[in-house]
Structure 1
Amino acid sequence: MTSLSLAVIGALPASSSDEAIDTPIGSAAISTGNTVVISGTQTQTSSDGPGDSAPRPGSPPSPASPVHEFDFDTCLDDWNSSRGCFRAVVDEEPSSPGADSPAAPVITIDDLAQFAPDPVASEGEPDNVGVAGMPTNFIAAASVHTRSGTLFGAPLSVRFTPVGYEFVHGDGTSATSSTGGQTWSALGQSPFTPTSTSHVYSERGTYQAHVTVRYAAEVDLGGGWFPVAGDLTVPGPAREIRIFEAHTALVAFTCAQRPSAPGC
């Protein structure tokens, strides 16, 4: 904005001393005898200065300045219009530790097969021998098992806990249990009495029995144990079970007293 001041000082003819003087708006006329002083101020808006940011009425809007990569020389040559030289800075949230590192692979139950516990052999009581028509008691001595090693290039520990057993009897039948069973003595029972893991063979013969143990798994990568989905099954080796027929006979003496007695 520019202000202009105008002052005109002149002498009036003597005959005009009583005439009215017309002055423009914004000016003042002062008469002192034969001299008139006219002063005024005019305000106008400049459109040439660098500070002119408002468009003139009726003028078309200026196109938006393109955003481009900062180039110092270009900005100097086109200082007034290259607003794209000054880019807004967006504050980024601080990255969490390890955010740029690759994600750890997901560990599956199949990945842990290399750490599997050794197979467990079942035992048929008594001494892997039974009597047809009478219970044979099966036992599997599986327990919690921990191993350490390396997986995907990182050290870890694996802990297996038995959670289920499948006893395969070798005669076409099988039975599942949540425990590996106990001996008759540990249960406080007499031989050839039923247990939760016993089986009755209907015929004499030799059978190949085995047990498959099902394990739940946990891993520790250095920050504590966490479970892995699924179960790992480990089949045990076959165990030969011999089943005999029992015949009763009325005898007068025991086998200790007469070893040659029937049935001795």
Structure 2
Amino acid sequence: MADFTRAAGTEGPWASAGGSCVPAARAAAGGQVVVLPAVTIEDVARLGLPPARATLEPGTGDVVLNVPVNVFADTGPVVRETELLGFPVTIRATPVSFTWTFGDGTTLGPTADPGAPWPAMTTTHTYTTPGTYEVALTTTWTATASVAGLPPEPVPGTVDVATAVGTLTARAGTTVLTR
């Protein structure tokens, strides 16, 4: 985020005047300049972003070989309020991509698609070898920051947040539909 400045001791909405911000009502008044802090992606990471809630279907922990397993993430934008060098800061983080690791050497993503519950099944994986596998999800976030009530500005970079989804056991067998 670019540094913004403001005339000291002034109140009210701010107006951008090139590289500085001054109260809109006193934009021409001048005065002492205060430099506003720049928010970095490291600042966003320190505030902490939640891991996505991940779901596996079927959710029993057992899957059948050669039958797709549905995976999806449930997460949305997050707003964090903080203070940086004495200035109020509002961070809005948004998940932009999801990367699934299936424990068998394969991954899905990064994809902007968080997936969906059955019957949509837009993000799936099929195990072809019997075994027990750890499934994990990495959610990539971008952020904007508003310092001292100014309009939000993009924060350069991304933050990755890992979710340990769970363990699946892939077994040979046949599927049977029941009511």
Same structural fold, with TM-score higher than 0.5 when normalized by the shorter chain: yes
Higher strand share: 2
Matched, 1:227 2:154: yes
Aligned CA RMSD, in angstroms, stands at 2.5
Q: Once the two structures are superposed, what CA deviation does each residue of 1:139-193 show, in whole Å capped at 9, x if it has no partner?
A: 11121111111223322111111110001111111111112100113x2xxxxxx
TM-score, scaled to structure 1 = 0.51
For 1:115, the equivalent position in structure 2 comes to 47
Matched, 1:179 2:105: no
Code of the residue aligned with 1:233 in structure 2: it is D
Change (3 A) 1:248 1:241: closer
Equivalent positions of 1:56-205 (< 5 A) are: 96-99=30-33, 101=34, 103-127=35-59, 128-176=61-109, 177-185=111-119, 187=120, 195-205=121-131
Say whether the 8 Å CA contact 2:55–2:165 is kept in structure 1.
Answer: no
Say whether the 8 Å CA contact 2:82–2:89 is kept in structure 1.
Answer: yes
Residues 105-114 or 209-218, more deviating: 105-114
Matched, 1:217 2:143: yes
Kindly state the Cα deviation for residue 237 of structure 1 after the two structures are TM-superposed.
Answer: 1.9
Aligned length: 149
SS of equivalent residue, structure 1 residue 114? helix
Q: Distance in 1 between matches of 2:98 and 2:141?
A: 9
Q: Distance in 2 between matches of 1:229 and 1:97?
A: 31
| Structure 2, unaligned runs of 5 or more | 1-27
Q: Distance in 1 between matches of 2:118 and 2:48?
A: 30
TM-score, scaled to structure 2 = 0.73
SS of equivalent residue, structure 1 residue 134? coil
Say whether the 8 Å CA contact 1:122–1:209 is kept in structure 2.
Answer: no
Q: With CA pairs under 8 Å and 6+ residues apart, which has the higher RCO, 1 or 2?
A: 2
Change (3 A) 1:156 1:131: same
SS of equivalent residue, structure 1 residue 122? strand
Say whether the 8 Å CA contact 2:68–2:125 is kept in structure 1.
Answer: yes
Change (3 A) 1:199 1:135: same
SS of equivalent residue, structure 1 residue 110? helix
Kindly state the Cα deviation for residue 218 of structure 1 after the two structures are TM-superposed.
Answer: 0.8
Q: Distance in 1 between matches of 2:162 and 2:114?
A: 14
Code of the residue aligned with 2:139 in structure 1: it is V
